[in-house]
Structure formats: C-alpha cells, structure tokens
Structure 1
Amino acid sequence: MVSQFSSDAAAALDREVELEAERGSFAEDISSYYELSRCSEWIKLGRFTKVALQFPDHLLTHSVQIATTLSQQNNQCKIYVLGDTSYGSCCVDEVAAEHIGADGIIHFGHACLTATKRIPVLYIFGREVIDPEKCISAFKELFSDQLSHILVMYDVRYSHVIESLCEALRNDYTNLTVTSLNIPTLCCGCHQTGRSCTEDCGDCVSSDMQENDTSHGKDSITPSCQCGQSMDSKEQCKLGRCYTLSAPIEEYSIFYIGSEGRALSNIIINYHTCKCCSYNPSTNMYRKESTFINKTLGRRYYLMQKARAARTVGILAGTLATAGYREIIDRLKSLLSSVGKKYYVIVVGKLNVAKLANFMEMDVYVLVACPESSLIDNQEFYKPVVTPYEMELACSKSTEWGACYFTDYQELLPGGASHELLKDITKQDNDIPEFSFITGHMQSSNAATIESTVEGQIVKRSEQLQLTSYSTAAEYLQFRSWQGLEQQLGKTPVSKAVEGRSGTASGYTHEPDT
C-alpha cells in the first residue's frame, strides 16, 4: 500500500538512476573538472569578501574539497556552501546567498541560464567527458542529408568541446548552425572572462565608473547597467541559447547533445515544430524524439482547458530571484481579475504534493518559475499546475493554441515575442458562452461578475442569472476538517528550560545500564 505522499521503491530507484546519469563521469582531478583556478581568479578580481558556493544535491559530495581549496587560495574571502536551494537547483539561489550577506555566487553544475538581478554570479558547469568520434558517427546516422538545416544544441556541461566537435562537421554540412550559451550577467560578462570592464567594454560602464573608477575591483565588474552581451540584430536568444538562422525555424532539425532530462524536454516542447534528435554521451545512445512531443502537447492542452474552467487560481511563486518574476505575477493578477477569476499568491518554496494539498479550495495553480522548472508532472498533484503562457491562453479568446509555445514567462512581458497588451486579451464579449471540454456544458469565459457586499462576502452573477453567495477564504477555512498547526497563543503555560536527554539512541545517559 503506497500513500499519496510517499514514493514506492521503484520510483526511488528510478530517481537514483537519473541522478547517476546527471553525475556523469568525473575526472579524477576535481580542480580541473570544476576550473578552480578560474574560480580563484574571479574571487580575486572581484575583491569579494563572502562567496557562496551553490551545488545541486548530487554534487554536494565534492563541496568540502572545493570549499577548502578555494579558502586556502583566497584567505581574504569567506567561503560558504549552500546545501539546499530554496527552489530549483538549476537557478541561482540569491535568497539563500543573501542570508549570509554574500557578495558573489559560484554556481556549480547544470544551469537553466535565467537572468538574476542582485548578486554577481560565476557559472561552473563542469567539463564533462564526451567521445567525439561516437558523437560524430551518431550525427551522421541521424542526418543523412548533408544539405538539411540543422541546429545544434547541448547540455551546458559539454560547452567546452562543442566548437571543436562541430568544426569537424562543417565541411560536410554547410547549413549547420551551432548555438552559443547566453550566460546571464550583471554587466557585459567581464567577470566571466576575467576582463576589466573599464578597459574593454566602455558601453557597459556607468558614467560614475568611467570618471572615478579605473581599478579592477568589485565595482568594475558590477556596473549599474544590465545590458547583457551585445548581439547581432539577426541573432535570436531563447532558453539561454543564441543562434542566427539562415532559414525559418520550421525548416530546421535539432540535434541535442546531453542526457535525458528537463533541459531536453524543455527544448523539445518549445521547438515542437522542428524534428528533434538527441545523443547521450554517457551511454552513447541516440534516437529521434517523436512520440514525446505529441503526448506532452496533448496533455498541456488539456490542462489549459482545465485552467479556462477554473474559478479560483493559486499563483505559485516558484522563484524569488529570477528577473521579471514580480512583473509576471502582477500581470497574472491583473489578467485574472479582468476575467473574474479569484486568485491567491502562494510562496511555498520547492513544490511537492503535500504542500499543495493544503489548498484544496484552488481549482488550478499557475507556476511562476524558470523555463525548466515550469513543466510539472501534474499527475502527482490533486490540482493541475499550468504555466503563465497556458493561463494567458485560458483567459483569452483572441489568442489561440497554435504553432508557438513558450515556457519562459519573459516572452509574455513587454519586449517578449508573445507579449500582448492586457486590454487586447480581455477585449471580448464575455456574455457569449462557449463549450467547455472539461465540464461538457456551455459556459462564459468570464468566471463571474464579482462584487463585494457589505457583509464581506463574495457575490456573483451565475450563468442562470441568479445571485449566488460565496464565503470568503477565512470562512472556508473555518469549516475545513484540518486547519494546520494551531499555535495556542496564551493557552500554553510558560515553563523554565530544562536539560534534555543526551547520549545515543542505543543508550541515553539517564537510562540504567543493562
């Protein structure tokens, strides 16, 4: 018997196998694999006094050795290890770093490359091992037509070998395009390369720095502007990868180098109009990704329909550091209010089934997180979890489910490829009903015309034009069978602190010897 809030042995083993694939084949020299000399140079160049080292859980075994080495090489800097990230390990955990007052973060392992706003970051992906000959052989097996347009994407851990790997293919494949990583920085990327911002990139230096600062110190690598890396006007950036295409994206096939996981799934669903093939260097297996996308898109369309029929929505803050998260939450609040849906903003940290089960009054959740953390396996949860893009589709009649799909909420904000003014989204006749595939009945896309009464209750005009009364959230909580932990303030007698048990579980000191 397996409860809803536990995992069976098979699932635990599956997760362990996945972690083993993520760990990869480390070189014996950790200093070389993690580029510790580059880390030390970055710390010295920035004159940092407190640096936080962020590791995913499966890399924490190397954290002690890395922290010790960096502490010995940088006596003036205190090194801290972030053992458990607040949200997804692929994102930079600025919240945890700010708890210790860190002025710099070194992020180890896989990264989603979403932009941060407050603290300088150095990304160390790890120099993963790959067999170039087997990779090239797999590529030629998958793509026999040498004139076809091919876009090469890869896991960030293989970025150190991609250029030399693709150079061997360019002679035969003339329409080969290799993506480059769009590493987010607080300036132009000088602290990633070790260059001096004041000497090499005057465009990124603020006027105060140009007049008063000619040093290589911390201020020179964290200017006030956040322009990012300069790009050609034809260059496109999506999911942390930049590329320049010579033909429409629909004519391209994608070749992905890396293991199966969230990064690959995210690329497949965002580029679902393209044929996608993958090669796993750790197993030397390659395949065509075809059935996955059809099943996933069908599932996402069903969830979007659930969101359209929802009356009460929970906005889950799945990040407190990614750039633009406040803006997208405000946009969702305005959008939901305009179509008559009630909403609550919830901050729960890392999501799990037990946490969200505490809010059974919600009909659907919309998760604000990085692109790789947005696609949740909703079958585990009691209520659906959708992305901001899917919620926007659910609230709009003018926008249809089409060829484009976005997991990055930045695309919905001003300047994004799918940005649309809220007045245009909600400019519709909400009295015209439409058929719901979920309920099997005709309903208005506007959940209700909501007004607040004197008694503090919610009153709406239903589809039958009858007034229906809905209690507030506080009254709903009052009649729930379980209301959470009760503090019992003022009811618990105050007592002095006493010494507790000591010793080990096999024999505490207060227990008699046997």
Structure 2
Amino acid sequence: MSSELSAPPILSTPAEHTFTDDPTPSSAISQTKRPHRPDHELYEVYEIARTAAEIRQNGWKRIALQFPDAMLPDAPWVVSALSSELEKDQTEVQDQSRRLYILADTSYSACCVDEIAAEHANADGVVHYGRACLSPTSRLPVIHIFTKQTLDYDAIAETFEKEFPEKAAKVVLMADVMFQEHVGPINQLLKERGYTNLIATEILRDPTGAIPNRKLVTPDASTNLNEYHLFHISTPPTSLLLTLSSRLASLRIYSTPSSPYTTTSTPPDPSATPGLLRRRYALVIRFATASIIGILVNTLSVKNYMSTISTLKSQIAAAGKKSYTIVVGKLNAAKLANFAEVDGWVVVGCWESGLVEQEGLWKPVITPFELGLALQGDESRVWTGEWWGGIEGVKDSLVTNGNDEKSPKQEDMVKLVPEQVEGGVEDEESEPPEFDLRTGKLVSHSRPMRVAIRSAPRGGPEIEVASLSSNQGTTSSAITKRAVGDVALVNGVASPGAEFLRSQRTWQGLGTDFGIENDEEEESTVVEEGRSGVARGYTVGQDQLRA
C-alpha cells in the first residue's frame, strides 16, 4: 500500500529560515552568557598593552588573532583596542600597513595555534587567546594571551580545607593556564593557614613533563608525585584528567564558571577516571585485531607531526598491517563513516586533541600511545594504568639512510617475510591462532600485508619487502589490479583498501557497472569542460553566460 505525499519533501534549508538562529549552535557559545563588561576591565582581561608591546618588539605587520568560540563576541572590541594601542607609539614611523585578522574558525582544536588559517592571511605571527595546550608550533611564532580571570581566594581556601583537613597533607597546587597566575598567592594563603607540604606549580612549555606544561616549585628534585594529591583550579580537559590520574595519588577539582571545559553544573568526578581508563583499554583490545589502520591527522601545526606519521607507518607496517593517512579537518562521525574499510583510527594531534570521544563513532579512535599497546602481542601487552594522549614520546622505529630520508629498520622489514621452519612450513603458519577477545571469533585477516607477500606469484615479478611494490611489469596506468591471492594491487603495491572497494562496496564509482574482465581496461570517454566562474557570470566551454 503506497502513501501519497501532499507536498514534496524538504531536501534543503527553507529560504525563510536562512537568517534565523543557528539550530545547532556551538556548545561553548550556547552555554556562555557573557555579561557586559566595561572597557577598562576588558583592557586588562585581554592584556592589550602587553600584546601591543610584543607585536612592536617582534616587528609584525600582519597579525592573526585566534579566539576560542566563547571569546568570539569580544573579538571586534579586541581588534579596536589593540589597533588604538599600536597607534600610540610616536617614536617610530606611523605603521599604516599593520593589519589585524580575526581567525573566526579553527581548522582543528581551539587549544592549538591555527597556523593554516593564519598563513591564508600571510600573517607574520599569531596571537592566541584563552586556553592553550602550549604545543610547539612548526612554522609561525605565537604570543599566548591566557586572559586574566578573577578568583575568590577565600572561597578556594575554604574548599581546600574541606578536601584536605589534615594540615600535613601532601598536595600539588595547579590551575588551568587561564588561572595559573593565582597559584602563587593561593599557595601563600594556604601556608599561612597552617599547611606544610604544599608544592606550587609554574607554567613551563613542556607537554612531556611529569605534569604537562608545568614545573614544580620545590627545592627537592626527587619528589615522588605518587605520594601527592592534586588540587586543580578549573575543570581540566579529559585528556589531562586521565594523564594526571595515572601519575598522582588523587585529584580534587575546584570548578570555575569561566572554564571552557565545564559542560555541566557539576565538575567531573575524578574517581571515575579508572572507569574511563578501562574503556580506553577496551578500545586497545578491540584495535588489536584491526587489519587496516587509518592515521588520522588532527593537526597541521604541532611541531614534528610529519615525523610522527612516518614513525606510525613504520610501526604498523612492522606488524604486518596496512595504514592509510587521512586529513579531514574537524572530526565528526559522518566524516569517518565514509571510510568503511578502515578498522580503526590513530590520531596524530596535540596531547589534548589526541583524545577523541567515542560517542557516535563506528570504529575505535585511539592515541599513538594506545596504538603501541595494541600492536603488541597478547602475551606481552601489559596495562600499567599509564596513559598519554599526544604524539610526544612516540618511539621512533625509523632509521636514516644516506639520503637523510627515513625508512623502516631492517629488523622491522624482516618481520614482514614469513620464514621457513623445519618441514617447509612457514613460520607464520605455525603461530597460534588469533582470536577477537570481545567476540571470541577467530581472526584470519589481522595481518593483510603478510598475506599479500604469500599471495605473490613465485615465478612472477620480484616484490620488495619494505614497500611491497613490484619492480617490473606494472605501469602507472594500472588503476586496480587483482593479485593472485585475495589482495588487490594498486601500481603493484598490495592494497587491502582497494580489495575492500572491489569486493565489498556496493557502489564503486562512475564507470564501474561494466567491470574489468581479464585485466582489460575500460575505454575512457571524452571529458567535457563544465561550468566555471562566479555567480554573476558563468563560462561554459567557449560560451559566456550571464546569471
């Protein structure tokens, strides 16, 4: 029984809704009701005088100003105030060529410096406002303005005394970078109230430190952090919460209204972090049987991200698995779902953006640290409770050849070759069977690149171990070619992704309805030039059309 439609379905946004409120506003903007503040207060909050002084000192002419979503409403005021402050300098020739640009949308996470957007404006440097991960940049210099936020010291001291009634408690005082300047005075106030084992912290741009981007203000260099509790002012990001929970005895959080990570009226419960770590370990176990791994680039600004990608490729290849590098900008479930052949993702990003929430995602998304665990065998994989979310500390399994280019180590290359043991049986065939610990099912395809080597024709072209590419018999005109085994080749290189496209995708692209039989290539049709130009005047081929 068919039903009739009274009106055609709406496939796009109705015209009358074009200029109404955004139905899916940014969470940061929707949750932040910014009160009106006088100019003199904003002048101090955004440190206009210091910013202008550093811009003059650096000699920047084109300056990019990067704001998080919650601070974008203040961006026009900041531009006006900063321009006025820069014009006050009468000791040098008036700089009419100075230009300020607002980076209204970041390509990746707001905590990182968006060098890509800044380079679109040909900026000499970036002024980054608000919370920052302090990861070193790769191309442009940056001025960090954390903004000055107010705190009620007495309220913090009262909360601290409730959390730690013993005056001899060993506690490390830490705050979000937006509030870090208050740690010293609060530490002094608590000591006046009788606390004797407090350690204050200071900002130090070192994400790999025992406490990321902090140093301990203590004369004792041999401090054992496992004996200390942490009192954190402002809600930390989840990645920092997981990192600190594995390095200190316990965590206490003092929530502040200005925290960009406060999504609810109550702060997160640090006692829930063991459960979060167990979920991360469950993802590692799920990832262990992945055969095709996507390297998900979540930054183009953090220093050394390219060398990290090369290192991850080498580690994945040494495990007999296939990797593909993908750049999609800001992550969401819909983008990743387009790559159905990928069994799991590893994120290359800063130590905060490397942690991706799994809600709505079809395949697991893990960090490089977790990938190292997933690639280990079940007999050697040990979960110690340690956790890290960034690309820093990734073990380099690459060596440098004579051309200063990185290539897999010889021992990693040998792992890809199935060795012959007594009786003519290949070493890999003698290995114990591999099972998915979640489902209990046998996994026979977790190392597709080793299968590709065994599937290569014995009397055919020689296949290199490192790249799995044919030295002869292939040309660049070969789009996808079936191997003798079960894995397709692209230009002679084994490609599980191409095999998935050939065998499992229901739609394989234009022109595939006829198929390719017996290695015969389908004849191409003439490509016609389409419409080009702008809306006020299109060009179709040699004809000129007017809109």
The TM-score, its normalising length taken from structure 2, stands at: 0.69
Instruction: Report the structure, 1 or 2, having the larger helix content.
Output: 1
Structure of larger gyration radius: 2
Please report how far the alpha carbon of residue 459 of structure 1 lies from its aligned counterpart in structure 2 after TM superposition.
6.5
Instruction: Provide the residue aligned with 2:202 in structure 1.
Output: 180
User: Counterparts of 1:131 and 1:176 in 2: how far apart (Å)?
Assistant: 19
Instruction: Provide the residue aligned with 1:282 in structure 2.
Output: 257
Residue identity matched to 2:452: E
Structure 2 spans left out of the alignment, 5+ residues: 1-22, 88-94, 260-264, 398-407, 416-426, 462-473, 475-479, 490-494, 512-524, 538-546
User: Counterparts of 1:164 and 1:27 in 2: how far apart (Å)?
Assistant: 26
Residue identity matched to 1:115: P
User: Counterparts of 2:532 and 2:166 in 1: how far apart (Å)?
Assistant: 80
Please report how far the alpha carbon of residue 26 of structure 1 lies from its aligned counterpart in structure 2 after TM superposition.
6.2
User: Counterparts of 2:382 and 2:275 in 1: how far apart (Å)?
Assistant: 19
Residue identity matched to 1:91: C
Q: 1:326 to 1:485 in 2, by over 3 A?
A: farther
Please report how far the alpha carbon of residue 440 of structure 1 lies from its aligned counterpart in structure 2 after TM superposition.
0.9
User: Counterparts of 1:321 and 1:116 in 2: how far apart (Å)?
Assistant: 5
Matched, 1:437 2:417: no
What are the superposed Cα offsets for residues 303-348 of structure 1, whole Å, 9 maximum, x if unpaired? 1011101011110010011012112111110000011111100011
Query: Which residue of 55, 64, 67 maps to 2:76?
Result: 64
User: Counterparts of 2:170 and 2:445 in 1: how far apart (Å)?
Assistant: 42
Instruction: Provide the residue aligned with 1:401 in structure 2.
Output: 383
Structure 1 segment 2-13 matched on structure 2, within 5 A: none
User: Counterparts of 2:230 and 2:483 in 1: how far apart (Å)?
Assistant: 52
Instruction: Provide the residue aligned with 2:112 in structure 1.
Output: 91
Q: 1:94 to 1:437 in 2, by over 3 A?
A: same
User: Counterparts of 1:434 and 1:56 in 2: how far apart (Å)?
Assistant: 46
Q: 1:498 to 1:280 in 2, by over 3 A?
A: closer
Give the CA RMSD over aligned residues. 3.8
Percent identity reads: 31
Structure 1 segment 452-467 matched on structure 2, within 5 A: 453=456
Please report how far the alpha carbon of residue 286 of structure 1 lies from its aligned counterpart in structure 2 after TM superposition.
8.1
User: Counterparts of 1:266 and 1:328 in 2: how far apart (Å)?
Assistant: 19
Residue identity matched to 2:390: D
Instruction: Provide the residue aligned with 1:503 in structure 2.
Output: none
Instruction: Provide the residue aligned with 1:306 in structure 2.
Output: 286
Matched, 1:249 2:261: no
Q: 1:287 to 1:496 in 2, by over 3 A?
A: closer
Please report how far the alpha carbon of residue 491 of structure 1 lies from its aligned counterpart in structure 2 after TM superposition.
3.5
Please report how far the alpha carbon of residue 238 of structure 1 lies from its aligned counterpart in structure 2 after TM superposition.
3.8
Aligned residues: 428
Residue identity matched to 1:341: K
Query: Which residue of 335, 345, 369 maps to 1:365?
Result: 345
Please report how far the alpha carbon of residue 96 of structure 1 lies from its aligned counterpart in structure 2 after TM superposition.
1.3
Matched, 1:258 2:234: yes
What are the superposed Cα offsets for residues 120-178 of structure 1, whole Å, 9 maximum, x if unpaired? 11111111121110001001100112222211221111122221111111342222112
Matched, 1:128 2:149: yes
Q: Is 2:289–2:446's contact at 8 Å kept on the other side of the alignment?
A: no
User: Counterparts of 1:494 and 1:287 in 2: how far apart (Å)?
Assistant: 54
Query: Which residue of 232, 236, 241 maps to 1:268?
Result: 241
The TM-score, its normalising length taken from structure 1, stands at: 0.73
Matched, 1:51 2:63: yes
Residue identity matched to 2:32: E
Q: 1:403 to 1:117 in 2, by over 3 A?
A: same
User: Counterparts of 2:483 and 2:47 in 1: how far apart (Å)?
Assistant: 61
Please report how far the alpha carbon of residue 24 of structure 1 lies from its aligned counterpart in structure 2 after TM superposition.
9.1
Residue identity matched to 2:223: A
Structure 1 spans left out of the alignment, 5+ residues: 1-10, 185-227, 229-234, 416-420, 461-466, 501-509
Instruction: Provide the residue aligned with 1:137 in structure 2.
Output: 158
Matched, 1:374 2:354: yes
User: Counterparts of 1:483 and 1:318 in 2: how far apart (Å)?
Assistant: 28
Residue identity matched to 1:267: L
Query: Which residue of 6, 10, 27 maps to 1:15?
Result: 27
Please report how far the alpha carbon of residue 436 of structure 1 lies from its aligned counterpart in structure 2 after TM superposition.
3.0
Query: Which residue of 21, 32, 39 maps to 2:51?
Result: 39
